[in-house]
Structure 1
């Protein structure tokens, strides 16, 4: 089975919903990672802010960062080999690399959360 690792730049969170505005690209990636993990695929994300040891311990990633700087982030590895730098993989890329159906990455949550704001008073 293939293993995917995504090395993110420094940021406050990987979901894209923190800060003054929502980043749809980060939200898409977070959703794709969650769906792949739920399907049993080995996929990990590491943030420069929270996981600097993962960056330092991976000689491939460390070498790219020394050569190109943080502009190379995000860096995506499949089975330890660099497949993309400087941007996040598309859902199509992930589906191709992992040999999964694209629909797997476009699934919507099956249950909806209902919040009664009147009960918060």
Structure 2
């Protein structure tokens, strides 16, 4: 199973300020979904886990070049997969190999398959 790590800025959560961040709320729901699928996503917060930022050469190099304003940073098997925003459920599912469709959701329309349109 791939290793997925998310390096978040300090205060990166749905309730870290007076204004509720809808994207962070969606991400928290996606993390719950990952746990239900048996996926382990490692999260590192700059305020709570600063050592994990400086001890990872790839993250340290990223911060040296881009700065903390470019966080969050997502690594998949040690490779930078996403920067500047938290991953969505589909990305997490793709990287982990898990099924991204939930029960009751509508599958995407196969627009390019003529047989499926009939």
The two structures have a TM-score, normalised by structure 1, of 0.77
1:90 to 85, 88, 91: 88
SS in 2 for 1:37: helix
Can you list the C-alpha shifts for 1:45-72, whole angstroms capped at 9, x where unaligned?
1110100011011110010000110122
SS in 1 for 2:67: helix
Q: List structure 1 segments (4+ residues) > 4 angstroms apart after TM superposition.
A: none
Distance change >3 Å, CA 67–CA 18, structure 1 → 2: closer
2:49 to 48, 51, 72: 51
**2:89·2:100 contact (CA, 8 Å) conserved in 1?**
yes
User: Which residue pairs with 2:6 in the alignment?
Assistant: 6
Matched positions, count? 104
Deviation at 1:93, TM superposition (A): 1.3
User: Which residue pairs with 1:20 in the alignment?
Assistant: 18
Can you list the C-alpha shifts for 1:11-51, whole angstroms capped at 9, x where unaligned?
1x53x034212111111112212221232212111110100
User: Which residue pairs with 1:64 in the alignment?
Assistant: 62
Structure 2, unpaired ranges of 5+ = 106-118
**1:5·1:43 contact (CA, 8 Å) conserved in 2?**
yes
Structure 1, unpaired ranges of 5+ = 108-121
Q: Whole-Å Cα distance in 1 between the matches of residues 39 and 90 of structure 2?
A: 16
Q: Whole-Å Cα distance in 2 between the matches of residues 37 and 18 of structure 1?
A: 22
